[in-house]
Chain A
Amino acid sequence: MNKFKELTAIAAPLLRINVDTDAIIPSREMKRVSKEGLGDGLFAGWRYTEPGSRIENPEFILNRKPYRLAQILLSGANFGCGSSREHAVWALAEWGIRAIIAPSFGAIFYGNCVRNGILPIILPDERIQVLASLVEADPDNNLIEIDLEKCTATGPDELTNTFDIAPSDREMLMEGLDAIAVTMRYDDEILAFQARDRLKRPWIYL
């Protein structure tokens, strides 16, 4: 997995609330047992004119220049709510999104982002509205700068916000860590837990 340290990029405002993972990647687009080939189906219901077609809807923001090159998405509350499908994150990543800024995220979606190199940033709604206006005024040049080491996001107005992120999530993104390998450092503790627990709760150990 690619490491995430910093990013300065075009941002696309998609200021809707409750953008669910069915919208991000419709079930009919999840055609293969694979993490790949999903970028094409990203936001398919909104990007294309007909369900199942590939005729672009010129109104949708990600189809418009220069937002076609956006690597940051700005959105409304509860982004990524609904289904747990990690395909939503794989589709976003394949399309080119590397960071998403929203007032809140669906919990499963947030965890999926962190495990796939996409940085989810929580900022207040009012600030996101301001960022969106600034970006829309001149999207090619009004970029957003993100620094994961400092946990900051700076707008085209030079104003910087700090954002919260769990240290372990931050480390996972910055180092491109393999989470399973990290956990296996605790192998002794896991075995010890099972040995104790087996006596207390024998019915768990089938």
Chain B
Amino acid sequence: MTDAGWVLDPRTPGAEKVALLTWLMLAVAAIAFVMVLGLLALGLARRRRLPLGAERWVVGGGLVFPAVVILALSGLTVWALDADTPPAGADPALTVNVIGHQYWWEIRYQPGGGSTVSGEVVTANELVLPVDQPVQLELTSDDVVHSFWVPELGPKRDLVPGRTNHLRFTIDQAGDLRGQCAEFCGAQHARMAFLVHAVPADEFETWLANEAAPAPVPTTDSQRAGMATFQQEACSSCHAIRGVVDDPAGLLGADRNRVVIGPDLTHLAARDTLAAVTVPNDRGHLGGWIADPQSTKPGSLMPAVPLDPEQLLSLLDYLQSLR
């Protein structure tokens, strides 16, 4: 699990500008506050006449000074916002669709834009992104309004059902970051986080190629039994495992778009966490999550699927093989 974010630790050019602007605004605010305290202290002392008269102080300190600050801030606003616009002739961005659900993130890497993979790559709750390459996120929601927020990467952007919002940035430093839903979305809004792994471009390509591949074939009997459990029980009604269950519960839409209910599990074992960064992705937590989702994340929309102990153990063997 990763530490929380920090707005003042920027990892993109846009976030750098905002961080700089923030420090500047804090400095100006501190100076202005000291001046106000100074006047207040004078006000609590014996009466004195202000040079030039009270009205000139009111106009100077209350109108002119704020107006100058505001003018400066307006200009700086435009300067800070500019960083997200791609320069002319820039490489096409890596495009990732992020679709919000109660209470998890559906992530779909799109082909093109410098990606070496020819098809769509679907995962959940963890974004791996290349450093020094423009990334464009296309954001929408399947249900209610959510918001995508990684403090180090710059602005947050809402995921609004019925519209697609965009977020562009170029990460300039490798590292692991944590994001969290920033628009109240219901019962488990508090536990709807996600991870961002910023890695060098070649590492990203390796990861993406692995994700694009269908699910690893089970190699042991236990794993095969687990795969069978997955296919026969309720799991396959909501979760896809590419190559095993491509179309949960036959819910392909008219234009052959899958209606998505639960996260894609094709490479579940490659992820660090479960339930949108609620618990670590290890055998114990995975077993607990499957056996009783409500005790890990009460109000989550995953139902408890009753399984025999052997079924659960073999299912865990299978799921843990899905690297």
Partners in one complex: no
